[in-house]
Structure 1
Amino acid sequence: MDALADLLDGPRARGAFVMRSLLDPPWSLRIADQAPLAMVVVTRGSAWIVPDDAEPTRLEAGAVAILRGPDAYTVADDPDTAPQAIVHPGQTTTTPDGELLCETWDLDVRSWGTNPDGATALLTGTYEVAGTVSERLLRALPPLAVLDGHEVDERLLGLLVDESGRDAPGQSALLDRLLDLLTIAALRAWFARERAPRWYHAYADPMVGQALRLLEHNPATDWTVADLAAAVGVSRAALARRFTDLVGEPPIAYLTEWRLARAADLLRGTDATVESIARQVGYGTAFSLGAAFKRRYGISPGAHRRGTSPINGDEQPIAEADVDTAG
């Protein structure tokens, strides 16, 4: 499994929030649900995504927006339209004054808004719980990624739209899987662009691509740059230089990040003991994994498993000690 396949294996919706919004202008929705990841598809009309700290982005019919949380943003018919509704954690919806809107704007099964035949129709799929999406995937994404309709299979979009309006036994599980498929398809399309992380394109390089796969498939190996270069069949200096140029960091620094990120996902996604996970990712003991994990993320493996604090990969750089002990 390469890093992209591993990242795309991350979305695992469990009771995800799927809703159709049917709206006539002027309309504006303030999204403050703190969800780690959301998908917004414009199925009719157009819309604007208005982040708090970036320029507004216009979405035409068919566009798919991938939004990385937990920061709030606004979706509106026009960037200047004041919010009429606020979506809070747990998908509770109120007016700006605090009046509940869940029943007032209810239109049909998984549908809400101001008019069933509204000029704008949006389909929103939200991963509400941290841990249902890989932290590494979230760290690899920008706050907002937008795809044109032709970049994502229209059959998936149509199926999710159709099924979102049905109420049948097992419907929640079906919608979870459809949302996962749409999310994976959209992420794959986005990662194929030039804006993808540097390591994505490094896989096409014969030298660096082979080195990346060796590291990712064998994180428990006690790698050194010399060992890795020998396995690839090049000199140590040549590998170190080209790997850093294409990936953006030296081989052992990348390995450290990969090991700790894998540990983070295994802690949330499996029942394996910390000791077992430590051995799987190349740390000899739970203690050594715990020390490196806390230096990198600021919390212990146990706290991460319990979900007491989200990991933010931008808060702390890789500590030098982590790099020194990784191999």
Structure 2
Amino acid sequence: MVDPLTQVISLLRPGAVFSKGISGAGRWGVRYSEFGQPSFCAVLEGSCRLEVDGHDPLTLEADDFVLMPATPGFTMSGFEPVTPKAMDPHAAASTTEELRHGRQSGPPDVRLLGGYFVFDSPDSALLVALLPQLVHVRGEERLATLVKLVNGESREHRAGRDLVLMRLVEVLLVEALRSTTGAAASPGLVRGLADARVSLAIRQMHESPESSWTVEQLAKVAALSRSAFFERFSRAVGIPPMEYLLAWRMAIAKHLLRRSKCAIAEIAERVGYGSVSAFSTAFSRHVGQPPARFARAV
């Protein structure tokens, strides 16, 4: 059976990890502007407050893990009122020594490992849109082990480092995403796959993107009425079913145009379009240029 999460992570091609130690003590607070790249944070000891733009505030505790596939602006602080200090996420990420906020002497109130990586796929924005915006996982030992492995490997320059990091980050992503399920999870592919009915439709879209799917057909796959399926899918995934299908088809099309020698007519057929003209119109509207021009540019 096709695994949609594996397909999306494989196309994203994560790699190039950067990480650093962070600590805070006393009255402290920092504000990071929108970063856009995927970032993560693991709480090693203590606790702190995290406020991500567009989401409810979180209290982070020891063994918590946070993943943001396309990092928006956020504020991290202790629990005392404070005007946060503006930070440049690019400049801060380039340092390797532990970054200390607030009181510089004495034991910290919280210690974290923070970092970011990059998606090598030129289509990352399209694919990241299918993932939850914020993942918060509590008390998962496997994640804690993976974070330590990523941190250790990223700080050393042994043979095969890049390949090891790429594989570790792939596993870290999958482990973090599948550890967050249920109604409390942020809308996205993972929450959709956690819904027994919605997941049936998602898997069919991924397994047979060439099929001429309609909302009615997908609702039948999910054993729901059309209206119930549409509402349930949209609530779980964050976008309507046909919009999700279009995004997945365009991701496949761009991948094939970039990496295969298939004719445009064949690619059109493989992503569910009966004619090159219909495919070209949809592709141009979604990507901003016709498929032939896109293929020549890569």
TM-score, with structure 1 as normaliser: 0.66
- The corresponding residue for 1:200 is 193
- The corresponding residue for 2:4 is 3
- The corresponding residue for 2:267 is 277
How far the C-alpha of 1:244 sits from its partner, in A, is 3.2
> 1:10-89 maps to which residues of 2 (within 5 A)?
10-32=11-33, 34-78=35-79, 80-84=81-85, 86-88=87-89
- The corresponding residue for 1:92 is 91
- Residue type of the partner of 2:260? A
Aligned residues: 282
Query: 1:13·1:132 contact (CA, 8 Å) conserved in 2?
Result: no
CA distance in 1, matches of 2:294, 2:34: 23
How far the C-alpha of 1:73 sits from its partner, in A, is 1.5
Given the alignment, which residue of 98, 102, 107 partners 1:112? 98
Q: Structure 1 residues 146, 224: closer, same or farther in 2, change over 3 A?
A: closer
> 1:145-156 maps to which residues of 2 (within 5 A)?
145-150=135-140, 152-156=142-146
Q: Secondary structure at the match of 2:39?
A: strand
How far the C-alpha of 1:80 sits from its partner, in A, is 3.7
Q: Secondary structure at the match of 1:169?
A: coil
Query: 2:43·2:62 contact (CA, 8 Å) conserved in 1?
Result: yes
Check if 1:121 corresponds to 2:136.
no
How far the C-alpha of 1:64 sits from its partner, in A, is 0.8
How far the C-alpha of 1:31 sits from its partner, in A, is 2.4
Query: 1:31·1:87 contact (CA, 8 Å) conserved in 2?
Result: yes
Unaligned 5+ residue runs, structure 1?
Answer: 94-100, 308-327
CA distance in 1, matches of 2:54, 2:225: 39
- Residue type of the partner of 2:42? V
Q: 1:216-253 CA distances to partner (integer Å, 9 max, x unpaired)?
A: 312213446787799x6x9xxx764564354349xxx7
Query: 1:152·1:189 contact (CA, 8 Å) conserved in 2?
Result: no
CA distance in 1, matches of 2:201, 2:165: 38
How far the C-alpha of 1:147 sits from its partner, in A, is 1.2
CA distance in 1, matches of 2:78, 2:173: 24
Check if 1:254 corresponds to 2:241.
yes
Q: Structure 1 residues 40, 153: closer, same or farther in 2, change over 3 A?
A: closer
Query: 1:263·1:277 contact (CA, 8 Å) conserved in 2?
Result: no
- The corresponding residue for 1:321 is none
CA distance in 1, matches of 2:91, 2:155: 20
Query: 2:17·2:154 contact (CA, 8 Å) conserved in 1?
Result: no
How far the C-alpha of 1:41 sits from its partner, in A, is 1.0
Query: 1:111·1:165 contact (CA, 8 Å) conserved in 2?
Result: no
Query: 2:48·2:59 contact (CA, 8 Å) conserved in 1?
Result: yes
Q: Secondary structure at the match of 1:16?
A: strand
Q: Structure 1 residues 284, 16: closer, same or farther in 2, change over 3 A?
A: farther
Q: Structure 1 residues 239, 11: closer, same or farther in 2, change over 3 A?
A: same
Which moved further from structure 2: 140-149 or 268-277?
Answer: 268-277
How far the C-alpha of 1:257 sits from its partner, in A, is 3.3
CA distance in 2, matches of 1:226, 1:146: 34
CA distance in 1, matches of 2:40, 2:66: 6
Q: Structure 1 residues 194, 258: closer, same or farther in 2, change over 3 A?
A: same
CA distance in 2, matches of 1:183, 1:79: 32
Q: Structure 1 residues 151, 293: closer, same or farther in 2, change over 3 A?
A: farther
Q: Structure 1 residues 10, 29: closer, same or farther in 2, change over 3 A?
A: farther
CA distance in 1, matches of 2:166, 2:69: 18
CA distance in 1, matches of 2:295, 2:82: 39
Q: Structure 1 residues 2, 171: closer, same or farther in 2, change over 3 A?
A: closer
How far the C-alpha of 1:59 sits from its partner, in A, is 0.6
CA distance in 2, matches of 1:303, 1:83: 44
How far the C-alpha of 1:148 sits from its partner, in A, is 0.5
CA distance in 2, matches of 1:304, 1:152: 41
Unaligned 5+ residue runs, structure 2?
Answer: none
Check if 1:163 corresponds to 2:153.
yes
Q: Structure 1 residues 180, 20: closer, same or farther in 2, change over 3 A?
A: farther
Query: 1:7·1:134 contact (CA, 8 Å) conserved in 2?
Result: no
CA distance in 1, matches of 2:54, 2:231: 31
- Residue type of the partner of 2:193? Y
